[in-house]
């Protein structure tokens, strides 16, 4: 951060929440947002824009309720804002139906990989059977095997740490104290070290994460989206799965280098035209409508009420934890109908201050991402990734769906279609 601050011609807008991209004739022109501290809105003119806002958590009902509901695998403040901005701007999106579900230590939602790889712990059921040999060891297979064993009455499921050496046990206590202290505290509070008990495991709720799966903006090789001048990097960039942190950083650099090669800094600065002004003023007017309300008037539904309703709908009808991540078309259509109702209700939410206004937009963004996710789940009539995409009406893989499932908002209607798989080749948009 200090290196950025010291750079020439760099201005940092901290604690500013960007809500909308401004486009004209399919080309990026800038963005609009507001301060979450001061009573101020921002209109930003730009020749190029890179979106690196991360993926989406909080769409589904999480493992832990109430006060602990934000104890989750993916950061709760990654709300799908970048996806939502792209959808609203008419950008093509891809592979939302390839959700990500992490396998974690029960209750603490601490990582399991450190145990599995660090001390070679196997996944076992309550009968002592090593079930990972039966289902496989990819992430989705590890989750799928755990779900199936519980369904078969063989749960709870564990990582077998009992019997590891004292040295290995101490190394786990230290490792988790560094990255997930709640797991170390759980061992200490139980009065048993890792080598004296097995670690119970469970799947998390689903997330939309382009770094682990392939969800996000449809981009070309240089990470430019289908909106000219708009780029995406990291979890928000789709079509490039399993890039993780280093890949996300590389994408940011790839995007930046392409921006530098195409932008003419000597040109006259962008000027606010009438179209930009009209678009931005409409958005700022919406901020004011949410903020300006009668203080003594009680909202029919609070932001938190609607968020809880959204998570319940997604959990029960769109393949959440309570349905073992499974869904059918009837459930998805009900989910779509109920999310549409919540979107209508969200138009009436009010905010008491700028921080509340941020929560209002987090809700709106999540609801829009839910709508897109459901459309993608409905379109892919197969089960390609167990638990990530477990379609009960279509339980097998269908090779005609060996394609990307993409979508685009056209005249306020989400259109879903397919794109061919491109491997080891330079890709430019054909549309």
Report the 10 Å Cβ neighbour count for 409: 19
Three-class SS state of 156: coil
How large is the average pLDDT for residues 304-315? 96
Per-residue model confidence (pLDDT) at position 102: 96
pTM value is 0.95
How large is the average pLDDT for residues 348-355? 92
Confidence check: pLDDT of 296 > 60? no
Band (292; pLDDT cuts 50, 70, 90) = confident
Q: CA angle 195-201-203, nearest 5°? A: 160
Query: Mapped to the 3 state alphabet, what secondary structure does 13-74 carry?
Result: CCCEEEEEEEEECCEEEEEEEEECCCCCEEEEECCCEEECCCCECCCCCCCCCHHHCCCCCC
> Residue 25 contacts by C-beta under 8 Å, 6 or more apart in sequence?
none
The stretches of 263-387 forming alpha helices (DSSP H) are 274-291, 303-317, 329-346, 354-379
How large is the average pLDDT for residues 349-378? 96
**pLDDT cut 90: percent of the chain above it:** 87
- Residue 92 has which token pair? 């093509």
How large is the average pLDDT for residues 360-375? 98
Task: Strands of 120-262 (E only): list them.
Answer: 123-124, 158-159, 199-203, 216-217, 230-232
pLDDT tens for residues 29-44? 999 999 999 999 999 9
Cα–Cα distance for residue pair 334/332, rounded to 1 Å: 5
Three-class SS state of 217: strand
pLDDT tens for residues 139-150? 899 999 999 999
Torsion sign (Cα): 64, 65, 68, 71: positive
Q: In 3D, which of 200, 210, 205 has the Cα closest to residue 239?
A: 210
Q: What is the mean pLDDT of the chain?
A: 94
How large is the average pLDDT for residues 9-17? 92
Strands 230-232 and 49-51, bridge-based pairing: parallel
pLDDT tens for residues 65-83? 888 888 899 999 999 999 9
- Residue 46 has which token pair? 């730009």
- Residue 169 has which token pair? 């046990």
Confidence check: pLDDT of 5 > 70? yes
pLDDT tens for residues 187-238? 999 999 999 999 999 999 999 999 999 999 999 999 999 999 999 999 999 9
CB 281 within 8 A of CB 287: no
Q: Which residue has the tokens 């959808």?
A: 87
How large is the average pLDDT for residues 13-38? 96
Q: CA angle 150-155-159, nearest 5°? A: 110
């Amino acid at each position: 951060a200090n290196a950025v601050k010291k750079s020439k011609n760099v201005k940092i807008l901290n604690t500013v929440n960007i809500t909308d991209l401004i486009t004209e004739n399919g080309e990026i022109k800038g963005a609009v947002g507001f301060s979450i501290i001061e009573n101020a809105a921002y209109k930003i003119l730009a020749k190029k824009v890179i979106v690196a806002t991360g993926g989406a958590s909080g769409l589904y009902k999480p493992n832990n309720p109430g006060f602990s509901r934000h104890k989750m695998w993916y950061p709760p403040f990654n709300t799908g804002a970048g996806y939502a901005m792209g959808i609203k701007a008419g950008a093509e999106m891809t592979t939302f139906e390839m959700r990500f579900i992490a396998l974690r230590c029960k209750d603490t939602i601490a990582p399991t990989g450190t145990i599995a790889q660090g001390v070679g712990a196997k996944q076992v059921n309550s009968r002592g059977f090593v079930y990972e040999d039966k289902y496989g060891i990819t992430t989705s297979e590890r989750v799928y095997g755990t779900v199936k064993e519980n369904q078969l009455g063989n749960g709870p499921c564990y990582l077998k740490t009992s019997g590891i050496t004292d040295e290995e046990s101490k190394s786990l206590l230290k490792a988790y104290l560094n990255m997930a202290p709640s797991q170390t505290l759980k061992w200490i509070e139980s009065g048993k070290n890792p080598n004296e008990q097995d670690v119970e495991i469970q799947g998390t709720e689903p997330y939309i994460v382009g770094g682990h799966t392939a969800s996000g903006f449809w981009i070309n090789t240089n990470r430019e989206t289908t909106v000219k001048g708009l780029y995406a990097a990291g979890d928000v960039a789709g079509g490039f799965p399993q890039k993780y942190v280093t890949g996300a950083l590389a994408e940011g650099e790839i995007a930046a280098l392409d921006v530098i090669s195409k932008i003419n800094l000597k040109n006259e600065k962008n000027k606010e035209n009438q179209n930009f002004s009209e678009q931005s003023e409409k958005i700022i007017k919406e901020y004011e409508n949410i903020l300006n309300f009668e203080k003594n008037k009680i909202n029919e539904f609070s932001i938190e009420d609607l968020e809880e309703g959204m998570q319940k709908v997604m959990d029960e009808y769109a393949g959440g934890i309570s349905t073992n991540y499974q869904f059918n078309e009837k459930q998805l259509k009900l989910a779509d109908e109920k999310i549409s109702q919540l979107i209508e209700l969200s138009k009436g939410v009010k905010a008491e201050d700028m921080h509340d206004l941020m929560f209002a937009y987090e809700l709106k963004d999540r609801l829009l991402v839910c709508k897109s996710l459901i459309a993608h789940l409905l379109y892919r009539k197969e089960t390609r990734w167990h638990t990530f995409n477990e379609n009960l009406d279509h339980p097998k893989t269908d090779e005609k769906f060996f394609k990307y499932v993409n979508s685009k908002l056209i005249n306020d209607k989400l259109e879903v279609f397919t794109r061919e798989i491109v491997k080891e080749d330079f890709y430019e948009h054909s549309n």
